[in-house]
Amino acid sequence: MTQTGPEILACPWPASGSDRRRAGRGLLSVVIPCHNEEEVIAATHARLAAVLPATGMDFEIVYVDDGSRDGTLRGLEAIAAHDPRAVVIELARNFGQQAAMSAGLAAARGDAIVITDADLQDPPEVIPEMVRRWREGVDVAYGRRRHRDGETAFKLVTASLFHRLFASLIPYPMPVDTGDFKLIDRAVADAVNALPEKRRYLRSLVPWAGFRHEPVWYDRHARAAGTTKYSPWKLLKLAGDALVLSSDAPVRLTWVAAAGLGAIGIVSGSMAIVAQLTAAAPRPGVSLAAVTAVVATVAAVQTAAVAIVGEYVVRAYREAQGRPTWVVRRTLGRERATTGSSRAA
């Protein structure tokens, strides 16, 4: 039926994203990457289902099963069978947390999207406060940790040092003492989803996009159940990946090493010449140990420089291969939208 002018006036256009945001309506998506979380997943869903109505928004919970080998997928299937607000994306294998979060972000339909872990370390009760900040006009309401329970002293110290080093090295403002727990506006999600890069570190891609960021302070709890999926080695790899993906500092560091070694060479060479010229009798040669030390140091720095360049070359090669960041095996709760999809960018 064709509408006439007065009818159009009587029938308002659908509210835009920003109208819905001011009115506090619209859809809230919660994205949860899950890898071997069978002990906790039912409790996580129950807590979210109890808390999210307090936001006053409709909501969907997008679980991404990242190649779990335990009963996580069965647990998620049971959740999806009973709750139409749950969407389950089963990845074809374990692609890693960054890929799982990216898959969830791409599938989320919300006007605002919360990313959180499956283990209840980030209390769902903070989400209504994040939504409140979003309504006030904040585009990224990120959880900033006041306390962190259940972590070793080693992890607390290394994480704190790494966050500060990382923030000082990347060329845009980067919040510290924060993880993946955050709410982002649709426009931020669209900007991040549109990035063509395959290997993704979302903690720096969201700040890269810009927009208005504000912290929401909270206390991070210990895991509700299960164990961490990150060994110290896996954490170290993630930290290295994050640095190389987000910053040119490692390559620049090789210039600093080259300049330092060059300065040592010039100073010690000059000293040797002066000593020979001013000595009454010719001096004996340097010891083998001293020569070995110098050669080994120079070789180590040169090898490190080549290795750093190699890290960038490998990443450039991977991007050129253009393989998708993740592959979906099956989607529950929203068959038509995502069946057979993989990251198309």
36 neighbors 72 (Cβ within 8 angstroms): yes
- The count of other CB atoms within 10 Å of the CB of residue 334 is 18
79: partner contacted, choices ligand UDP, Mg ion, none (Cβ within 5-8 A by kind): none
CB nearer to Mg ion: pick between 200 and 220 = 220
SS (H, E, C) 290-317: HHHHHHHHHHHHHHHHHHHHHHHHHHHH
35: partner contacted, choices ligand UDP, Mg ion, none (Cβ within 5-8 A by kind): ligand UDP
CB nearer to ligand UDP: pick between 4 and 231 = 231
- How far apart CA 311 and CA 317 sit, in angstroms, is 10
Token pair belonging to 155: 């992890």
Binding map of Mg ion across residues 59-98, x = CB under 5 A, - = no contact: ----------------------------------------
CB of 101 to Mg ion, least distance (A): 13
CB nearer to ligand UDP: pick between 117 and 139 = 117
Size of the site for Mg ion (CB under 5 A): 3
CB nearer to ligand UDP: pick between 88 and 100 = 100
- Binding-site ranges for ligand UDP (CB under 6 A): 33-35, 37, 66, 94, 96-97, 100, 117-119, 121, 228-230
Which of 226, 229, 249 is CA-nearest to residue 237?
229
- How far apart CA 189 and CA 202 sit, in angstroms, is 11
Residue 1's H or E segment, with its range, is none
Residue 11's H or E segment, with its range, is none
Q: What is the side-by-side order of every strand in the sheet holding 112-115?
A: 213-220, 140-148, 178-185, 112-115, 27-34, 58-65, 86-91, 328-332
Show contacts with Mg ion in window 114-133 (CB under 5 A). 117, 119, 121
CB nearer to ligand UDP: pick between 120 and 138 = 120
115: partner contacted, choices Mg ion, ligand UDP, none (Cβ within 5-8 A by kind): none
215: partner contacted, choices Mg ion, ligand UDP, none (Cβ within 5-8 A by kind): none
185: partner contacted, choices ligand UDP, Mg ion, none (Cβ within 5-8 A by kind): none
145: partner contacted, choices Mg ion, ligand UDP, none (Cβ within 5-8 A by kind): none
Token pair belonging to 147: 């306390």
Which residues bind to Mg ion, rule: CB under 5 A? 117, 119, 121
